[in-house]
Structures are given as C-alpha cells and as structure tokens.
A and B are shown apart, each in its own frame.
Chain A
Amino acid sequence: MSGAQGSSRGAQRLGEVVDRNRTITFTFNGKKYKGLEGDTIISALTANGVKIVSRSWKYHRRRGVMSGNYHDPNCHFQVNDEPNVRGAHRRLEEGMVVSTQNVSPSLKFDIGAVNQKLSRFLTAGFYYKTFIKPERLWPTYEKVLQRFAGGGKVAATGHHVPADKRYAHPDVLVAGGGPSGMSAALSAADAGSNVLLVEEEYELGGFLRWGTADELAVAQSLREKVAAHPKITTLTNAVVAGRYDQNWVSVIERGLPVVMESLIKVRTATLVAAPGLIERPYVFEGNDLPGVMLSTAVLRLVNLYAVKPGERAVVFTGNDSGIAAAEALRGIGVDVVQVVDARHGGGLVRATSSRGVLSGVELSDGSKVLCDLLVVAAGWTAPTTLLNLSGNHPVFDEAGARFVPGPDLDDTVFATGGLVGDGTIDEILAHGAAVGRQASERATNGSVTTVAPAFSPDPHLPLFFGTTKGIVDFSEDVSSKDLLTAAHEGYNSVELLKRYTTATMGPAQGKLETINTVAVLASANGESIEETGTTVWRPPYVPITLGALAGRSYEPVRYSPMQAWHESHGGINIVAGQWMRPEHYGDAAKEVSTVRSGVGIIDVTPLGKFELKGTDVTKLLNLVYVNKWSKLEVGAVRYGVMCGEDGVIFDDGVTGHLSEDRYFMSTTSSGAAGVYAHLESWLQTGFPEWDVTITNVTSAYASINIAGPQSRELLSKLVSDVDLSNEAFPYMNLRTGTIAGVPGCHMWRIGFTGELSFEIHVPAGFGAYVWETLMEHGADFGITPFGLEAQRIMRLEKGHFIVGQDTDGVTQGFSAGIDWLIKLDKDDFIGKPELQWQHDSGAGFRLVGIHPNDPKQVPTEASQIVIDGIIQGRITSSRFSPTLNRSICLGLVVPALAVAGTVVPIRLPNGTIIQGTVMEHHASYDHEGAKLRG
C-alpha cells in the first residue's frame, strides 16, 4: 500500500528542522505530494503515509525506510535525470520528480517479485551453477540477468558541467561535526591551529540533533562556539570521502547549484576522525519488511521532521537508543505497545506481514503482538574507513560488540567519539577536546603530550542475528541463509564470502552489514568474530559523482602564433599531440605541386627548439646523438639521431652551431619534452661537471619553412643583412639576421621536403607578421601555404622517415637505414653497445623504399608483408605521389627482403595481395639531393 494515508505529521518537536510555513510540491511515481521545506524525500513520503518506497535488488521485495540515513539502501530514487539519489538524505525541492528504480511495471505490482517464490532455488551464487550448457545460450541468459541490474537510468545525452575543484591546507581536519568532532575542532583551534570541520548532515550536532532537550542545548552551545571561532572553517552537507598517502584528503561538498557537488583536495597536517557510529540492523525473519526500522531512523523521523512512522509500535532493543526511540514515539502520539529489552531477557523471533507490510511480531516468549512499526536497536558499527585508509587494521571489541580502530594508528591521524568508545556526553566532549589538542600539537610542534581520557565501559550485547534467518545485506538482498550456505560450501573466509555472495559489495559498501556478515560467518565456521576478522574498507567513504571527480579539464592545447591566419584561410586542423595545426588548406596534392614548382610555406612552430650554451655542448651532443659533433663549424648545421641505451631510435632533428659556445637544437614536435628531460637527465645525473645550459625556446620562436625552387628569391625580398646566395649560405648552414625588419631571426638551409628551402625561426611575437609578409611577397610567385599532409607526401617522396611512424618501439639504429650516420668509432654515446651488437649481428628489420608494381595502388599504412603465412614486414608509410604520379611507400622488412629489386607481397586490409618492389633508395625524388643544394 504505497498510497498516501493522509498526513502523519505530528505536533511541533523541539529539534524540528522543517519549516511548517513553506510547502513544497513534488511527485513520486507520477503522483503529486506535498512536503515541507527542510524535509528529505523520505521524511516527506513518510509524512504522506507512504510505507513502501522501493523494491529490493534480487527478489524485488517491498522495502520501506530502514536506517533512515544517507546509507539507507531502501531509499534510492531516480530524481529527474539523476540516478541513485539517497532519499533519506536529499532534501526536497520544488517540482522534484521522484521515482522508484528497478521496478517493472510499477512499485505496487512488480513482475520481478516472482523471484521471491523462486528464492530457494536462487541462493547466492546460483548463476555459477547453472546456464553452463549450451554455451551459446549464455548471452540470452545474460540478458535476463541484466534485467536484475538495479539502479536508475542515466541520460544518453547532456553535457558535463565542470565543477571547479579547490584546495585547502588546514592544520587540523576534523571529519564529523557531532559532539566529539566539534569539541576536537574547538580545542585544536583554541590551541592555535587552523581547523577545517566537515559534517555530512545539513547542520552540526550529530546524534544530539535528535536527542533530548538537554542534548539539543549542548549541541546549540557547541554550534555557537564553533561559528564564533575565527580559526574554524565549517562545511556542512560535505563529507570526508577518502584519506590517501600523507594526509591527502578528499572532501566532497554537496548540494551546490548547477554542478551538484564538487571536490576539495585537502593536505592536512593532522586528521581527526569523528564520524560517530552507524546503527546496524538485526538479522531475523522479516527484518526487511516495510515498517521495520532502526531506532535512529525513528528518532530522525520523529524528532527532526515530526513525522509519525506508524501508529502502533513494538520496540526491540539492546541499548538506550531503543528506549529513546520509544519515548520519542510516545511523544508524538504513537502507541508503543511493547518494549522488548534484550538486556532483560527479551527476544525477537520474527516479523510477520500482511499485504507486504509489517503486521506484527513474534517474540521469544511465544507471544505475538500486532503492530505496524517495529523499532530495532541492536547496536552499532564504527565506520573506521578513514583509519583503515591510513593503514590501521580494525580489531574486534567484545565489550562494544563492534570492530574498533587497532593499535597501529598513523601518528598524524586521530580518532574520537563513537569510533573510540561509548560514553556520556561529558566524556565524549572531554575526549574530543583532548584529541583536538593532540592533533594540534602534532600539527605544530610534532610531539604529543596530551593524554586522552578513557570512556567508562558501557557493555553491549552481541546482538547480530536471532533464531530465524533474515536479510543481512539489504543492498544486495543477501540473507543469513545465503551466507551460511556459501560458508559451508567452502567460501568460508570473509573475503571469499564477500565475493561469492556479494554481501557488503553494494551501495552501502558494508556500513550497515559488514559486522553481521562476519558474525554469521563466524557462527558457520564455529569461530569467534575476532578470529574471523573483517574486510578492509575501501575509498570513497560515500560515492562521488564522476562530474565532481572530473572537475574542469586542464589539458592544454597549443597553437602557433599563425593559427588564426590558418583558420581564416581554410586551414583544416589536425590534432598533433598537444598542438593543433593545419593538415591542409583544401588540396594537399596541389600544395605539393606548387612547392615543387614554385614556393610554399609551412608553419613548423611545434618543432622542439632548445638553445644550448656552454663550453661542453659538443660533449653533450656527442653523447646523445649517434653521430659526431666535434668538428661542426660555427654557422653549420647537422642532422642527428638519438637512440636510447637499448639502441632504439627515439628522436631526430637538426642542431646548428650559432657561435662559439651557443648551439640551437631542433627536435620532433612530439619528442620535445622527452628530449629535454633526456638531456637534463644526462647533464644532472651523469655529467654534472659539464658546462651546458639548456633553454627550451620552443614557444619563443615561430618557425616557418619556406620551400621550393623560388624560396631564395622570396626570402631575398625580405632579408638584406644576410647574403642568401648558394656560395655565401650553402646547404646545411645557418645564419642569423633580420627578416622583414625583425632582427634576431635564425635561418637554416635545411628542409624536409627535398626542395631548396629555408627554415626560419622568428621571435614568436612577430610570427604572424612574418608569415603574412611572406604570403604577401610570395603572391608574385604563386605562393601557397601548405600543411602537414603536403609535407608528409613530400618527405615520403624524398624518403625521410618519421620517428614513431617508420620506426617503432623496438627499431634500433641500423634498422632505419642510417648506417652512414652511426659512428661506432666514437668513444661512447648513448646506446653504443647495443648498436655495436646490432651492427655485428645484422638483426632486426630494415627500412626500405617500396614501389607498388601497380602505380595506382596505395597500400594502406600498416598493410602486412606476408610470406608463407609469416609476417615478414609491413608498410609504414604510403602515399600517392603527385610528383611522380605513382604510389610510393616506406616499409620495414626482414633483412633478407631488404635487397633492391626484391618483389614482396603486400596484403591489403581487404585481404587482396598486391606486389611491390624494394627500391635502391628510400628517396623516390632527387635522391642525390641536387635540388636541396641548389
């Protein structure tokens, strides 16, 4: 009976948090309801007499409010487009659309409930024992099982609104704003520490909030002191979600507009865990019926929201919380028909139902009592999560009937309040204050002198399960019978049992059910709870949205100073590592032919550029490059290849000699950061005595390659202080001068395209100006801008390899056809031994030029060369060459095939085999380099 039974809101309560003057309208499963401001979804539904709020995961049993806190597994709802909203925590908002998850077709009549009838066959892990044959049917069974999947729906479209993260650096972080937490915060702050106090609920006070008039007064007084203290920052509706290495702590701030919640990353000197206690359920038949509630759920509903959770109540208790709940119920006009106190020998056998909700209880004295509310107060769980995450192992405390922190606590982490023991309010406050001082001492001077007082003992009964079987894990629908069966089958350690039955694996993550799971297992094994041990709590303490974790993306995108020009002139972008650069301006083939016949310019700013200065630069160059650098004249440049110590090529580029002790090194675009770190590594860790300073000038210069037979004529128009003639400025040389009035530009006679070309490096601020000036003056020559694709075609025509495309993670130097470059007669260089051995053995693939026999066929890059079913090589680069009017390739092949004239079979992606011929040179265009030198 999920329908409303009229309002069950009682008379004003002393600690009431709802505003009776403000009504909020919302819908639940399509039906309109009214609540009050300050209500949670659950308090409003309860006030409206709604008892059945969800269906369980596996058996689709009717479920009502159980623990009444954030962790209540029965109170998950879809709210608008947000799945799995905690209805016992989330406050009502005007117009909220709330619905039940995991029901079909409706909460009232759920077809999945047929599983209840089958439950004796569907014991935990039943699916491991069936659907085994025939194998082909498993996907069908799987679809059926997937329909059990609980949880809400996620929208298929919509954007992530970035929630900005922030940082905090308090001296003391107090997790939990109950009496012990507030007391700890106040004393730490009084001792001079900056304190961040984080409370999960909407206001400070902890369990005092639903307590007696005296307790409310204590809470109010503490709240006022905290609010007035200048050294305490308080966050409510926020939660300490995790503690990581060296007190790196995640705090989630909830309830924010637009972004829902956001992440605060806290590095705190000390951490005080004061999360209080979580009331645990009791295992007996019918313990999951709507109408069976924990005492704290009742206390919250009655004392915070003035809601009557039933009309006729039985209270089963092993502690004073049950007594308090009974009093609260009487206070709001609920008929408490019997209080069954386990401390005085009372016992509960089972709860019985009528029409799916609680109708009565059967007690151990044989009596049966009719009721629509059963309040259970069996004991507590200490949520030791933050301590476990600090390396602490919980131990079982017999007297407290719960796991408590072990002795091996990190010396920057402290615990107080319910985690540590039970006590009077005064004892709790005193303990909190002492721990706050300790945390402050540790945070400031390092040594802890304060001694925390002990709590007076308050023994608890070991009330975990009764004489009948019931639900242990409400999130996962795992019963004590499931656990016993699994344990007897051999899944008899807490870790195996957890994995086999999925107990403690659901959304509550063990906060409600771990101790009962362990207790049932211990009974199955005939061991004590201590011997059985417990599982480790894993972060986060409460679930965190992906949105809050993601925050805003700070992955940089880099652009050259000419990017705006490219985009306004038809440049089509390509992502190249961090850089965005033009791939082409509409027609790459046309760009190629223009460069080959006239002139073109390409933006090569992303090239890595370093200035090296010092008397030992040549030593460094000799170390990191495979070739020799001692005799590089001032004004000359040289090509070099870098290998790792394993002889594998990792970068290439050109380095020029600017003046006596100054060099300018260029690297590949993607390799720049790696090369910089590599050079620094050798300088700092290997040869700190060398005089070399490296400055990364990649972004300090805009780089342009002017390529084509008319490039000299074009540049001549803009340069007057450097003689650009072939005699004065030959190939593989550099000059520094003024371009278009911009002084300090480096000009290099090199190029990747194979044409006469000048690579110019212009101070970045003038990049766009020089580019536009080149375009303007090049108009007479029919200049074209060209992009990465045209450059790739031309470099392939010229036979230049690209590191990382024509080489891979195991391509050693002699595999790339740079035998002429590698100088094994140098004393030493990085990777020399491996290259020597490769040279001697001839091992590894060889990079070769390949021309498909059919000039129109362009084999897709990565097409394999397969002979007798064995891969003997692959195409690493291929393009149709507009210059040669044929397809051209580079490929890595086994040495036996690396002989000019060899015909190799190339397997295209569609399986067709075409023939290609291994060429004498990598270059298909001007392999002598006459044009470059022209």
Chain B
Amino acid sequence: MSRNKPVKYSALGLFKRGLSGKEWPRVWRDVDLKKTYDVVIIGAGVHGLSTAYYLAKNHGVKNVAVVDRAYVGGGGSGRNTAILRSNYLTPEGVRFYDRSVDLYRHLAADLNFNVMFAPRGHLTLAHNDGALRTMRWRAEVNKVQGIDSEVIGPEEIKKLVPYMDVSDDTRYPILGALYHPPGGIIRHDAVNWGYARAADAMGVEIHQKTEVLGINTAGGKVTGVRTNRGDVSAPIVINCTAGWATLIADMAGVKLPIITHPLQAAVTEPVQMFLSSVVVSGSLHVYVSQTDRGELVFGASTDPYAAYSMRSSLEFTEELAGHVLELMPSISKMRVLRQWSGLCDITPDFSPIMGFTEVEGFLVDVGWGTYGFKAGPASGEAMAQLAATNKTPEIISAFDLARFEEGRLASERGAAAVGH
C-alpha cells in the first residue's frame, strides 16, 4: 500500500475544510501485516511510537512495524497524568529527562500535531526538613546541569497556588517546595497520535489489535515474532510494553528485574480554572494539576502490591482526597468523576532499562515505572539510534540491563516515593 499523503494540519486547513466539508485523510493507515520487517516494535505507546518515528526520521529505517494487542496509546501512555519535568536527582537522570522536555517543547511543530505542551510550572512540596533537604539536593544537581529549579518558601508557593493552605498549624505544614518552571503538562493522547501519524507518513506501519504470542530466536539471536495475525520475521525486536514487559521478555527467555504494580489516577468534574501549577507532595503521596477542560487530575504512588489487574480501588480515592484536602481544604465540594488504573514496570533503582539483552537483536525499553511518559521522546530518539547503529548512545549508557548484575544501580531511589 502506498504511503500516506501527508496533509498539513493548520488553521487555514481547518477553515478550508470547514467551508468545503471535505474530510481530512486518515490519521494513519490500516494495512495488512507483512511477513518481514527490519524492526518490529512491540507496544504502540509513546515509547514504541517515538522509537519508530525517530528510526524513520533520523536513520531512514522505515520498514518498521509497531504492533499492539489493543489500540494506539491504550496502555500507560493514555492513562498517565501527563506531567513533564526534568528536575531529577541524578545527573544522568536530569540530562536524559531534560532532553525529553526539550523534544516535547518542539514536538507540536515537529509532528505537525498540537500536543498542547503547557509549561505551567511544577512544585514539589516539602513538609519536613528531610524532604526540604532532598528538594535542595535536587535543585542543586539540577542547577549544575543548567536546569531551572529552585527551592522556594511558603509565601512564594501561596502566590503560585492561592488555594494552598500554607499555614503552619496543619498536620503536614508546608515548609517549602522545589519549583521547576519548565515543568508542566501535555495532552498525552495527542502525543501518541501525533507520533503515530508522523511515523505512518514516513512509511512505518501501525498494527493495532495485533497481539504478540511468542518471540522466535535462533542461535541466541532474535528472528521474529508470532502474532495472532501470523508470524513476522525481523532481525530486531524492541520490547516497549511497560507493565507487560516481563511477560514479553519471558517469551525471549530474558529475565528482567521488574515488578508490575498498578498505578491509579482520578479526575474530578470540571470547575473554573484555579490551579495553574502542577503540585506534587511526596510526603502526602499525591500530585494534582488542572486541565484546560477544568478537571483536576490526581495521581498518587503505585498500589502497594504487584498486580496486572487494572481495577480501581476505593482506598486510593479515599487517601487521595484526604491528602488533597490537607493541601487545599476549600475544594472539598468538588467531586471525583472517574478513577482508572494503569500498569507500571518498577525497577529496583527507579530508573529505566534501555538497550541490549543477552538475546542479540532483542532490545528492551522498559522499567519505566511512574515516569515513562515524560521520557517518551528522549527514549524513542535514543532507542532508535541504538537500533540503527547497534551502539548504546551515551545519554542512556547508565540505564543498561547489565547494571543490576554488576551492582551499578542508578541512585534515583535516593528521592523515591512520589516523584511526579
């Protein structure tokens, strides 16, 4: 099937088609699964799609299939709270996520798809002196890397978030916050669709409802995948399946240091805008932002036990509400409209695993825990480079699989708990 004829999205285009009633072309094609690809990417989330996009765009590798057992952006990429930031604790983390924020900043123009990146500012609250010290630590590491990040006091917090209770007679008084102005939110679905559309326009194939049932290997090398739509051969297979990562890796005989935990989120009914910043409290295990639609979007830490169940729990909303009202007691009459859950692939050091495995050609881009969406563009760019050149790019060299056996864990867990 021929390539999609790219049609540019623009206000003028909207206007013309509004007048003529002519429909827009399909966002991506629906094609038959071929027998052979240069690269098969498992998982049509932001990681899989961006890897495919950068393979085609930066390396000219276009004979690529992205397969997903459900639909584009149906996993964590469409279930996360769409918070972006780069104020991590380790130099390697800061550098990597900063590249991601940078790519996000220009993604709308790059993909010709408005992903609604809104650098609203990101506040991580500290409720005790230990937390405040960690915020200072992050700020200082960030500054060394040139990241805009600073510790601010309660008065400044109140200016940024007028609804916040910064008085000192609360159970968890707010002592300060790490303020990260470039942090913000984005429209997650738009990112997924934008990557899919742009990759498709360059020849990448997106195959929804295509479930990988097995991974074929021979002589220590990957040779392809078996799917519900038939077998496909490929010398490179990339595992971008987040919460399902170990199930896919098991098919290739690769063991990963990953545990799958559900992560829940909830959204309220819309109200008039009152919260411009993204607010995170590690001690209270909550993060909150307000969308352009007026809804508050909430998240918390992952569920306390490993599971593949995406059912919600009542205790999640109970704890969440309690903690949100500690921060903003006046919003108690707002209503929770919907709660949902996604799956997170948690590693022992709260850092991802990217790169080669002992099976040649079987690459992993997994272990994304609760911070996968933020990393989408940078990981796609790096994984594409790795797949195309067979060399690990420096920017992800700290995130290799071998580090666990070699005892070189990344130290993001120094600031674990809730890190959104």
A160 in contact with B270 (CB, 8 Å) = no
B23 in contact with A485 (CB, 8 Å) = yes
Given contacts A81-B333, A389-B311, A509-B337, whether A490 and B26 have CB atoms under 8 Å apart is yes
15 additional contacts (CB under 8 A) given A151-B270, A907-B143, A907-B144: A83-B334, A128-B114, A129-B14, A132-B112, A154-B163, A154-B333, A157-B330, A161-B332, A248-B314, A489-B23, A489-B27, A490-B26, A502-B293, A834-B407, A874-B140
Number of interface residues of A (CB under 8 A): 99
B123 within 8 A of A: no
Chain B: minimal CB distance from A423 (Å): 32
Q: Residue B330 contacts which of A129, A158, A577, A804 (CB distance < 8 angstroms)?
A: A158
Q: Residue A242 contacts which of B26, B71, B268, B312 (CB distance < 8 angstroms)?
A: B312
Chain B: minimal CB distance from A890 (Å): 13
Q: Residue B130 contacts which of A260, A495, A804 (CB distance < 8 angstroms)?
A: A804
A151 in contact with B269 (CB, 8 Å) = yes
Given contacts A133-B109, A874-B137, whether A546 and B334 have CB atoms under 8 Å apart is yes
Q: Residue A154 contacts which of B128, B136, B334 (CB distance < 8 angstroms)?
A: B334
B321 within 8 A of A: yes
B293 in contact with A149 (CB, 8 Å) = yes
B314 in contact with A547 (CB, 8 Å) = no
Q: Residue B113 contacts which of A132, A145, A161 (CB distance < 8 angstroms)?
A: A132
A260 in contact with B411 (CB, 8 Å) = no
Q: Which residues of B contact A82 (CB under 8 A)?
A: 333
A500 within 8 A of B: yes
Interface residues of A in 182-212 (CB under 8 A from B): none
CA distance A549 to B414 in the complex (A): 32
Q: Residue A550 contacts which of B11, B106, B332 (CB distance < 8 angstroms)?
A: B332
CA distance A128 to B151 in the complex (A): 35
Q: List the one stretch of B45-53, B80-88, B226-234, B271-279 in contact with chain A.
A: B271-279
Chain A: minimal CB distance from B321 (Å): 4
A543 in contact with B162 (CB, 8 Å) = no
B220 within 8 A of A: no
B9 in contact with A156 (CB, 8 Å) = no
Q: Which residues of B contact A496 (CB under 8 A)?
A: 71-72
B269 in contact with A862 (CB, 8 Å) = no
B335 in contact with A84 (CB, 8 Å) = yes
B336 within 8 A of A: yes
A544 within 8 A of B: yes
A574 in contact with B9 (CB, 8 Å) = no
Q: Mark B313-329, 1 if CB is under 8 A from A, else 0.
A: 11001101110111001
CA distance A151 to B163 in the complex (A): 18
Q: Which residues of A contact B235 (CB under 8 A)?
A: none
What are 24 inter-chain pairs, A to B, with CB distance below 8 A? A83-B334, A128-B9, A128-B113, A128-B193, A129-B13, A135-B108, A149-B272, A149-B292, A154-B274, A161-B332, A263-B318, A490-B30, A538-B340, A545-B336, A553-B322, A575-B173, A646-B409, A804-B130, A805-B130, A810-B411, A862-B136, A871-B91, A874-B140, A909-B143
A810 in contact with B409 (CB, 8 Å) = yes
Q: Mark B101-141, 1 if CB is under 8 A from A, else 0.
A: 00001101100111011110000000111100110110111
Q: Residue B144 contacts which of A491, A493, A866 (CB distance < 8 angstroms)?
A: A866
Q: Which residues of B contact A869 (CB under 8 A)?
A: 144
A499 in contact with B189 (CB, 8 Å) = yes
Interface residues of A in 508-546 (CB under 8 A from B): 509, 538-540, 543-546
B208 within 8 A of A: yes
Chain A: minimal CB distance from B125 (Å): 13
Chain B positions within 8 Å of A, measured between CB atoms, are: 9-11, 13-15, 18-19, 21, 23-28, 30, 70-74, 78, 91, 105-106, 108-109, 112-114, 116-119, 127-130, 133-134, 136-137, 139-141, 143-144, 150-151, 162-163, 171-173, 187, 189-190, 193-194, 208, 268-274, 292-294, 309, 311-314, 317-318, 320-322, 324-326, 329-340, 349, 407, 409, 411, 413-416
The residue on B at minimum CB distance from A150 is: B270
A154 in contact with B271 (CB, 8 Å) = yes
User: Which of B19, B171, B313, B335 is packed against the most chain A CB atoms within 10 Å?
Assistant: B335
Given contacts A121-B14, A145-B292, A149-B273, whether A547 and B312 have CB atoms under 8 Å apart is no
B333 in contact with A260 (CB, 8 Å) = yes
B109 in contact with A142 (CB, 8 Å) = no
Chain B: minimal CB distance from A374 (Å): 28
CA distance A131 to B332 in the complex (A): 35
Ranked 7 nearest A-B pairs via Cβ: A149-B294, A543-B335, A547-B332, A549-B321, A151-B270, A121-B18, A129-B9
Given contacts A158-B329, A574-B129, A909-B139, whether A809 and B116 have CB atoms under 8 Å apart is no
Q: Residue B314 contacts which of A139, A250, A493 (CB distance < 8 angstroms)?
A: A250
A861 within 8 A of B: yes
The residue on A at minimum CB distance from B276 is: A146
A545 in contact with B332 (CB, 8 Å) = yes
B71 in contact with A142 (CB, 8 Å) = no
A146 in contact with B140 (CB, 8 Å) = no
Given contacts A549-B318, A810-B413, whether A489 and B114 have CB atoms under 8 Å apart is no
A861 in contact with B330 (CB, 8 Å) = no
A690 within 8 A of B: no
User: Which of B24, B30, B324, B340 is packed against the most chain A CB atoms within 10 Å?
Assistant: B24
CA distance A389 to B311 in the complex (A): 7
Chain B: minimal CB distance from A180 (Å): 26
Interface residues of A in 531-580 (CB under 8 A from B): 538-540, 543-551, 553, 555, 557, 574-577
A837 within 8 A of B: yes
The residue on A at minimum CB distance from B329 is: A160
CA distance A139 to B120 in the complex (A): 9
A127 within 8 A of B: yes
CA distance A129 to B10 in the complex (A): 6
B27 in contact with A550 (CB, 8 Å) = no
CA distance A391 to B309 in the complex (A): 10
CA distance A545 to B331 in the complex (A): 9
CA distance A255 to B337 in the complex (A): 19
User: Which of B28, B173, B334 is packed against the most chain A CB atoms within 10 Å?
Assistant: B334
B130 in contact with A244 (CB, 8 Å) = no
CA distance A448 to B161 in the complex (A): 56
Q: Residue B269 contacts which of A543, A837, A866 (CB distance < 8 angstroms)?
A: A543
Q: Which residues of A contact B208 (CB under 8 A)?
A: 493
Q: Which residues of B contact A539 (CB under 8 A)?
A: 312, 314, 338-339
Chain B: minimal CB distance from A538 (Å): 5
A265 within 8 A of B: yes
Chain A: minimal CB distance from B213 (Å): 21
Q: Which residues of A contact B189 (CB under 8 A)?
A: 499-500
CA distance A154 to B272 in the complex (A): 7
A693 within 8 A of B: no
The residue on A at minimum CB distance from B338 is: A538
B331 in contact with A154 (CB, 8 Å) = yes
Chain A: minimal CB distance from B416 (Å): 7
CA distance A539 to B264 in the complex (A): 12
The residue on B at minimum CB distance from A149 is: B294
Q: Residue A142 contacts which of B105, B118, B130 (CB distance < 8 angstroms)?
A: B118
Chain B: minimal CB distance from A923 (Å): 22
Q: Which residues of A contact B331 (CB under 8 A)?
A: 154, 546
CA distance A81 to B271 in the complex (A): 12
CA distance A754 to B317 in the complex (A): 48
A138 in contact with B321 (CB, 8 Å) = no
Chain B: minimal CB distance from A658 (Å): 32
Given contacts A81-B333, A809-B416, whether A245 and B91 have CB atoms under 8 Å apart is no
CA distance A123 to B9 in the complex (A): 13
A863 within 8 A of B: yes
User: Which of B9, B190, B311 is packed against the most chain A CB atoms within 10 Å?
Assistant: B311
Q: Which residues of B contact A138 (CB under 8 A)?
A: 108, 114, 116-118
The residue on A at minimum CB distance from B188 is: A499
Q: Which residues of B contact A574 (CB under 8 A)?
A: 129
Chain A: minimal CB distance from B273 (Å): 5
CA distance A909 to B143 in the complex (A): 8
Chain B: minimal CB distance from A545 (Å): 5
Given contacts A540-B336, A545-B332, whether A555 and B171 have CB atoms under 8 Å apart is yes
The residue on B at minimum CB distance from A861 is: B133
